[in-house]
Amino acid sequence: MLTRLVWFTGSLLVALVVLVLLFLFVVGRHRLEEIEVTKGPVSTAPATYRVAIEHGEREREYLVHVPPAAEQGAPLPLVIALHGGGGKAETMDDLSKITPIADREGFLVAFPQGVSKSWNDGRKGTGSTAEKENVDDVGFIRAVVEDVAAKLPLDRQRVYATGISNGAMMSSRLACEAADVVAAVAPVAGTVAEGFETWCRPGRPVAVIAFLSTKDPLVPFGGGQVEAFVPFLKRGRVVSADGFVAFWAANNGCQGERQLTELPDRVQSDKSRVVLHELGDCEDGATVALYVVEGGGHTWPGGQQYMTRWLVGRTNRDVSASELIWRFFAAQALP
Protein backbone atom coordinates (compact mmCIF):
# COMPACT_ATOMS: atom_id res chain seq x y z
CA MET A 1 0.00 0.00 0.00
CA LEU A 2 2.80 2.38 0.94
CA THR A 3 4.63 1.55 -2.28
CA ARG A 4 1.55 2.39 -4.34
CA LEU A 5 1.12 5.68 -2.47
CA VAL A 6 4.74 6.64 -3.10
CA TRP A 7 4.37 5.69 -6.78
CA PHE A 8 1.16 7.72 -7.12
CA THR A 9 2.67 10.76 -5.39
CA GLY A 10 5.77 10.57 -7.55
CA SER A 11 3.73 10.27 -10.72
CA LEU A 12 1.61 13.25 -9.71
CA LEU A 13 4.70 15.37 -9.10
CA VAL A 14 6.14 14.38 -12.46
CA ALA A 15 2.86 15.27 -14.18
CA LEU A 16 2.80 18.67 -12.47
CA VAL A 17 6.40 19.36 -13.50
CA VAL A 18 5.60 18.40 -17.10
CA LEU A 19 2.56 20.69 -17.10
CA VAL A 20 4.59 23.60 -15.72
CA LEU A 21 7.35 23.06 -18.30
CA LEU A 22 4.77 22.82 -21.08
CA PHE A 23 3.13 26.03 -19.88
CA LEU A 24 6.48 27.83 -19.80
CA PHE A 25 7.32 26.51 -23.26
CA VAL A 26 4.03 27.70 -24.73
CA VAL A 27 4.29 31.10 -23.05
CA GLY A 28 7.91 31.44 -24.12
CA ARG A 29 7.01 30.84 -27.76
CA HIS A 30 4.67 33.83 -27.62
CA ARG A 31 6.90 36.07 -25.51
CA LEU A 32 6.57 39.79 -26.19
CA GLU A 33 9.68 41.74 -27.15
CA GLU A 34 10.87 44.65 -25.03
CA ILE A 35 11.02 48.11 -26.53
CA GLU A 36 14.47 49.57 -27.06
CA VAL A 37 15.22 52.14 -24.37
CA THR A 38 17.71 54.96 -24.86
CA LYS A 39 20.05 55.68 -21.98
CA GLY A 40 20.33 59.20 -20.64
CA PRO A 41 17.97 62.03 -19.70
CA VAL A 42 14.71 62.69 -21.53
CA SER A 43 14.96 65.08 -24.45
CA THR A 44 12.94 65.99 -27.53
CA ALA A 45 15.15 63.69 -29.63
CA PRO A 46 13.00 60.81 -30.99
CA ALA A 47 13.49 57.78 -28.74
CA THR A 48 12.06 55.89 -25.77
CA TYR A 49 13.42 56.90 -22.37
CA ARG A 50 13.24 55.40 -18.87
CA VAL A 51 12.25 57.74 -16.04
CA ALA A 52 12.33 57.13 -12.28
CA ILE A 53 10.16 59.19 -9.93
CA GLU A 54 9.27 59.08 -6.25
CA HIS A 55 5.61 58.64 -5.38
CA GLY A 56 3.88 57.33 -2.26
CA GLU A 57 7.21 56.64 -0.59
CA ARG A 58 8.13 54.30 -3.42
CA GLU A 59 10.50 54.58 -6.32
CA ARG A 60 8.31 54.21 -9.40
CA GLU A 61 9.19 54.34 -13.06
CA TYR A 62 7.74 54.78 -16.49
CA LEU A 63 8.91 54.81 -20.09
CA VAL A 64 8.14 57.71 -22.37
CA HIS A 65 8.24 57.48 -26.15
CA VAL A 66 9.05 60.72 -27.92
CA PRO A 67 8.03 61.06 -31.60
CA PRO A 68 9.94 63.10 -34.21
CA ALA A 69 7.30 65.87 -33.95
CA ALA A 70 8.60 66.77 -30.46
CA GLU A 71 11.66 68.43 -31.99
CA GLN A 72 9.40 71.12 -33.46
CA GLY A 73 8.56 72.34 -29.93
CA ALA A 74 4.76 72.50 -30.23
CA PRO A 75 2.72 70.91 -27.38
CA LEU A 76 1.86 67.28 -28.13
CA PRO A 77 -0.92 64.96 -26.95
CA LEU A 78 -0.05 62.13 -24.55
CA VAL A 79 -1.37 58.56 -24.52
CA ILE A 80 -0.84 56.63 -21.29
CA ALA A 81 -0.65 52.89 -22.12
CA LEU A 82 -1.05 50.56 -19.14
CA HIS A 83 0.18 46.97 -19.18
CA GLY A 84 -1.96 44.09 -17.94
CA GLY A 85 -1.55 42.21 -14.68
CA GLY A 86 1.78 40.38 -14.72
CA GLY A 87 2.93 42.54 -17.63
CA LYS A 88 5.68 45.10 -18.04
CA ALA A 89 5.98 48.62 -19.39
CA GLU A 90 8.73 47.42 -21.73
CA THR A 91 6.48 44.95 -23.59
CA MET A 92 3.28 47.01 -23.83
CA ASP A 93 4.31 48.47 -27.17
CA ASP A 94 4.98 45.08 -28.76
CA LEU A 95 1.48 44.05 -27.72
CA SER A 96 -0.29 47.18 -28.96
CA LYS A 97 2.03 48.51 -31.70
CA ILE A 98 1.18 52.05 -30.69
CA THR A 99 4.55 53.83 -31.07
CA PRO A 100 4.58 53.61 -34.89
CA ILE A 101 1.24 55.43 -34.82
CA ALA A 102 2.68 57.98 -32.37
CA ASP A 103 5.61 58.63 -34.71
CA ARG A 104 3.27 59.07 -37.68
CA GLU A 105 0.63 61.19 -35.95
CA GLY A 106 2.81 63.12 -33.52
CA PHE A 107 1.90 62.21 -29.94
CA LEU A 108 3.80 61.14 -26.84
CA VAL A 109 3.29 57.72 -25.23
CA ALA A 110 3.92 56.95 -21.56
CA PHE A 111 4.24 53.33 -20.41
CA PRO A 112 4.03 53.34 -16.58
CA GLN A 113 5.09 50.31 -14.55
CA GLY A 114 2.77 48.86 -11.92
CA VAL A 115 3.93 47.76 -8.46
CA SER A 116 4.78 44.05 -8.71
CA LYS A 117 3.34 44.19 -12.25
CA SER A 118 -0.13 45.09 -10.98
CA TRP A 119 -2.50 48.06 -10.77
CA ASN A 120 -4.88 49.01 -7.97
CA ASP A 121 -7.87 49.29 -10.30
CA GLY A 122 -10.63 49.25 -7.66
CA ARG A 123 -11.42 45.51 -7.56
CA LYS A 124 -11.41 43.64 -4.26
CA GLY A 125 -10.06 40.14 -3.68
CA THR A 126 -7.55 40.16 -6.54
CA GLY A 127 -4.60 39.10 -4.41
CA SER A 128 -2.36 41.61 -6.21
CA THR A 129 0.29 43.61 -4.39
CA ALA A 130 -1.22 46.85 -5.66
CA GLU A 131 -4.59 46.03 -4.10
CA LYS A 132 -3.28 44.51 -0.86
CA GLU A 133 -1.04 47.52 -0.20
CA ASN A 134 -3.66 49.99 -1.47
CA VAL A 135 -1.18 51.57 -3.86
CA ASP A 136 -2.24 55.04 -5.00
CA ASP A 137 -1.99 54.36 -8.72
CA VAL A 138 -4.34 57.21 -9.63
CA GLY A 139 -1.94 59.56 -7.86
CA PHE A 140 1.01 57.88 -9.58
CA ILE A 141 -0.48 58.42 -13.06
CA ARG A 142 -1.15 62.04 -12.16
CA ALA A 143 2.51 62.31 -11.15
CA VAL A 144 3.59 60.76 -14.46
CA VAL A 145 1.62 63.38 -16.39
CA GLU A 146 3.18 66.17 -14.31
CA ASP A 147 6.65 64.73 -14.87
CA VAL A 148 6.13 64.43 -18.62
CA ALA A 149 4.92 68.04 -18.71
CA ALA A 150 8.09 69.14 -16.89
CA LYS A 151 10.34 67.39 -19.41
CA LEU A 152 8.54 67.62 -22.75
CA PRO A 153 6.11 69.88 -24.65
CA LEU A 154 2.73 68.53 -23.50
CA ASP A 155 -0.78 69.56 -24.51
CA ARG A 156 -2.54 69.13 -21.16
CA GLN A 157 -5.97 69.27 -22.78
CA ARG A 158 -5.18 66.14 -24.75
CA VAL A 159 -4.08 63.43 -22.32
CA TYR A 160 -5.61 59.98 -22.77
CA ALA A 161 -5.40 56.54 -21.14
CA THR A 162 -5.67 53.02 -22.49
CA GLY A 163 -4.66 49.58 -21.28
CA ILE A 164 -5.34 45.87 -21.39
CA SER A 165 -6.94 43.69 -18.71
CA ASN A 166 -5.79 45.03 -15.31
CA GLY A 167 -4.53 48.07 -17.24
CA ALA A 168 -7.92 48.46 -18.92
CA MET A 169 -9.66 48.52 -15.54
CA MET A 170 -7.07 51.02 -14.31
CA SER A 171 -7.85 53.29 -17.25
CA SER A 172 -11.52 53.05 -16.29
CA ARG A 173 -10.63 54.09 -12.74
CA LEU A 174 -8.77 57.09 -14.17
CA ALA A 175 -11.95 58.10 -16.02
CA CYS A 176 -13.71 58.05 -12.65
CA GLU A 177 -11.08 59.70 -10.46
CA ALA A 178 -8.85 61.71 -12.81
CA ALA A 179 -11.32 63.13 -15.32
CA ASP A 180 -9.64 66.50 -14.82
CA VAL A 181 -6.47 65.01 -16.34
CA VAL A 182 -7.59 62.46 -18.97
CA ALA A 183 -9.83 63.58 -21.82
CA ALA A 184 -10.86 60.04 -22.87
CA VAL A 185 -10.12 56.40 -22.08
CA ALA A 186 -9.90 53.16 -24.05
CA PRO A 187 -10.08 49.93 -22.04
CA VAL A 188 -9.24 46.74 -23.91
CA ALA A 189 -10.20 43.28 -22.58
CA GLY A 190 -11.48 44.68 -19.30
CA THR A 191 -14.30 46.86 -17.97
CA VAL A 192 -14.21 48.06 -14.36
CA ALA A 193 -14.63 46.79 -10.81
CA GLU A 194 -18.08 45.55 -9.81
CA GLY A 195 -19.85 48.16 -7.71
CA PHE A 196 -17.92 51.06 -9.22
CA GLU A 197 -21.15 53.00 -9.61
CA THR A 198 -21.00 53.78 -5.89
CA TRP A 199 -17.65 55.58 -6.11
CA CYS A 200 -17.27 56.68 -9.73
CA ARG A 201 -17.89 60.43 -9.79
CA PRO A 202 -16.09 61.89 -12.83
CA GLY A 203 -17.88 65.22 -12.57
CA ARG A 204 -18.11 65.61 -16.34
CA PRO A 205 -18.81 63.58 -19.50
CA VAL A 206 -15.85 61.34 -20.39
CA ALA A 207 -15.52 59.88 -23.88
CA VAL A 208 -15.03 56.12 -23.78
CA ILE A 209 -14.05 53.59 -26.44
CA ALA A 210 -13.78 49.93 -25.41
CA PHE A 211 -12.84 46.63 -27.02
CA LEU A 212 -14.44 43.61 -25.32
CA SER A 213 -14.65 40.01 -26.51
CA THR A 214 -17.49 37.55 -26.14
CA LYS A 215 -15.17 34.56 -25.58
CA ASP A 216 -12.72 36.17 -23.20
CA PRO A 217 -11.69 33.30 -20.89
CA LEU A 218 -10.44 35.58 -18.12
CA VAL A 219 -12.64 38.69 -17.95
CA PRO A 220 -16.25 37.60 -18.64
CA PHE A 221 -18.13 39.63 -21.23
CA GLY A 222 -21.27 39.25 -19.13
CA GLY A 223 -19.53 40.41 -15.96
CA GLY A 224 -18.78 38.50 -12.76
CA GLN A 225 -15.74 36.65 -11.48
CA VAL A 226 -12.40 37.33 -13.17
CA GLU A 227 -10.41 34.15 -13.74
CA ALA A 228 -6.66 33.55 -13.62
CA PHE A 229 -4.34 31.17 -15.43
CA VAL A 230 -3.95 29.18 -12.20
CA PRO A 231 -7.05 27.06 -11.40
CA PHE A 232 -9.09 28.09 -8.35
CA LEU A 233 -7.33 31.49 -8.19
CA LYS A 234 -9.79 34.37 -8.57
CA ARG A 235 -9.16 38.01 -9.41
CA GLY A 236 -12.17 39.93 -8.12
CA ARG A 237 -15.34 40.82 -9.98
CA VAL A 238 -16.19 43.17 -12.85
CA VAL A 239 -19.29 44.68 -14.41
CA SER A 240 -20.64 43.40 -17.73
CA ALA A 241 -20.00 45.02 -21.08
CA ASP A 242 -23.63 46.22 -21.18
CA GLY A 243 -23.44 47.60 -17.65
CA PHE A 244 -20.22 49.41 -18.47
CA VAL A 245 -21.68 51.05 -21.56
CA ALA A 246 -24.94 51.93 -19.79
CA PHE A 247 -23.10 53.74 -16.99
CA TRP A 248 -21.03 55.90 -19.33
CA ALA A 249 -23.97 56.60 -21.63
CA ALA A 250 -25.94 57.89 -18.63
CA ASN A 251 -22.97 59.83 -17.24
CA ASN A 252 -22.36 61.45 -20.62
CA GLY A 253 -26.03 62.30 -21.18
CA CYS A 254 -26.17 60.38 -24.48
CA GLN A 255 -29.58 60.87 -26.09
CA GLY A 256 -29.09 58.94 -29.31
CA GLU A 257 -30.17 55.35 -29.92
CA ARG A 258 -27.48 52.70 -29.85
CA GLN A 259 -26.21 52.28 -33.41
CA LEU A 260 -24.89 48.85 -34.45
CA THR A 261 -22.46 48.44 -37.33
CA GLU A 262 -21.14 45.06 -38.44
CA LEU A 263 -17.58 45.59 -39.63
CA PRO A 264 -16.21 43.62 -42.60
CA ASP A 265 -14.92 40.17 -41.66
CA ARG A 266 -11.67 40.71 -43.58
CA VAL A 267 -9.67 37.91 -41.95
CA GLN A 268 -11.94 34.90 -41.62
CA SER A 269 -9.14 32.66 -40.38
CA ASP A 270 -9.18 34.44 -36.99
CA LYS A 271 -12.62 32.91 -36.31
CA SER A 272 -13.96 36.23 -35.01
CA ARG A 273 -15.75 39.34 -36.19
CA VAL A 274 -16.39 42.83 -34.86
CA VAL A 275 -19.62 44.74 -34.25
CA LEU A 276 -19.47 48.42 -33.29
CA HIS A 277 -22.02 49.62 -30.71
CA GLU A 278 -22.03 53.42 -30.66
CA LEU A 279 -24.00 55.94 -28.63
CA GLY A 280 -23.91 59.50 -29.87
CA ASP A 281 -25.63 62.83 -29.22
CA CYS A 282 -23.76 63.01 -25.90
CA GLU A 283 -22.89 66.09 -23.85
CA ASP A 284 -19.65 67.81 -24.90
CA GLY A 285 -19.33 65.30 -27.74
CA ALA A 286 -18.30 62.58 -25.25
CA THR A 287 -19.23 59.59 -27.41
CA VAL A 288 -19.41 56.05 -26.02
CA ALA A 289 -18.21 53.35 -28.42
CA LEU A 290 -17.98 49.62 -27.79
CA TYR A 291 -16.31 47.28 -30.25
CA VAL A 292 -17.68 43.81 -29.51
CA VAL A 293 -15.31 41.13 -30.78
CA GLU A 294 -17.53 38.11 -31.37
CA GLY A 295 -15.39 35.02 -30.85
CA GLY A 296 -12.37 37.01 -29.68
CA GLY A 297 -10.38 36.36 -26.52
CA HIS A 298 -8.42 38.17 -23.83
CA THR A 299 -6.39 39.93 -26.48
CA TRP A 300 -5.65 43.26 -28.21
CA PRO A 301 -7.38 43.37 -31.63
CA GLY A 302 -4.76 43.75 -34.31
CA GLY A 303 -1.99 43.27 -31.75
CA GLN A 304 0.33 40.42 -30.86
CA GLN A 305 -0.97 36.97 -29.91
CA TYR A 306 1.02 37.22 -26.68
CA MET A 307 0.04 33.76 -25.43
CA THR A 308 -1.42 30.69 -27.08
CA ARG A 309 -5.11 30.92 -27.86
CA TRP A 310 -5.61 27.86 -25.62
CA LEU A 311 -4.99 30.19 -22.70
CA VAL A 312 -6.18 33.64 -23.78
CA GLY A 313 -8.37 33.03 -26.81
CA ARG A 314 -8.11 34.41 -30.32
CA THR A 315 -6.79 37.77 -31.54
CA ASN A 316 -9.03 39.50 -34.07
CA ARG A 317 -7.28 40.67 -37.26
CA ASP A 318 -10.13 42.60 -38.86
CA VAL A 319 -9.30 45.81 -37.03
CA SER A 320 -6.41 47.53 -35.30
CA ALA A 321 -7.53 48.61 -31.86
CA SER A 322 -4.59 51.01 -31.64
CA GLU A 323 -5.50 52.79 -34.89
CA LEU A 324 -9.16 53.07 -33.85
CA ILE A 325 -8.21 54.26 -30.36
CA TRP A 326 -6.03 57.04 -31.69
CA ARG A 327 -8.67 58.13 -34.20
CA PHE A 328 -11.17 58.32 -31.31
CA PHE A 329 -8.75 60.13 -28.98
CA ALA A 330 -7.79 62.67 -31.64
CA ALA A 331 -11.37 63.98 -31.68
CA GLN A 332 -11.45 64.50 -27.88
CA ALA A 333 -10.01 67.17 -25.58
CA LEU A 334 -10.68 68.45 -22.08
CA PRO A 335 -13.34 71.18 -22.02
Listed by start position, the domains of the chain span: 32-330
Rounded to whole angstroms, the Cα distance separating 157 from 330 reads 11
Output the 3-class SS for 286-310: CCEEEEEEECCCCCCCCCCCCCCHH
Rounded to whole angstroms, the Cα distance separating 99 from 93 reads 7
Nearest CA-CA partner of 186 in 303, 271, 283 = 303
Nearest CA-CA partner of 282 in 303, 315, 254 = 254
> What pLDDT, on the 0 to 100 scale, is given for residue 235?
86
Nearest CA-CA partner of 328 in 105, 176, 119 = 105
Q: How far is CA 334 from CA 158, 181, 205, in A?
A: 7, 8, 10
> What pLDDT, on the 0 to 100 scale, is given for residue 234?
74
Per-residue pLDDT of the chain (335 residues), as tens digits, is: 555 554 445 555 544 433 443 444 444 446 899 999 999 999 999 999 999 999 999 999 999 999 999 999 999 999 999 999 999 999 999 999 999 999 999 999 999 999 999 999 999 999 999 999 999 999 999 999 999 999 999 999 999 999 999 999 999 999 999 999 999 999 999 999 999 999 999 999 999 999 999 999 999 999 999 988 776 677 899 999 999 999 999 999 999 899 999 999 999 999 999 999 999 999 999 999 999 999 999 999 999 998 998 999 999 999 999 999 999 999 999 99
Pairing assessment for the beta strands 58-66 and 108-112 based on DSSP bridges: antiparallel
Does the domain at 32-330 match CATH 3.40.50.300? Answer given as: no
> What pLDDT, on the 0 to 100 scale, is given for residue 231?
67
> What pLDDT, on the 0 to 100 scale, is given for residue 26?
46
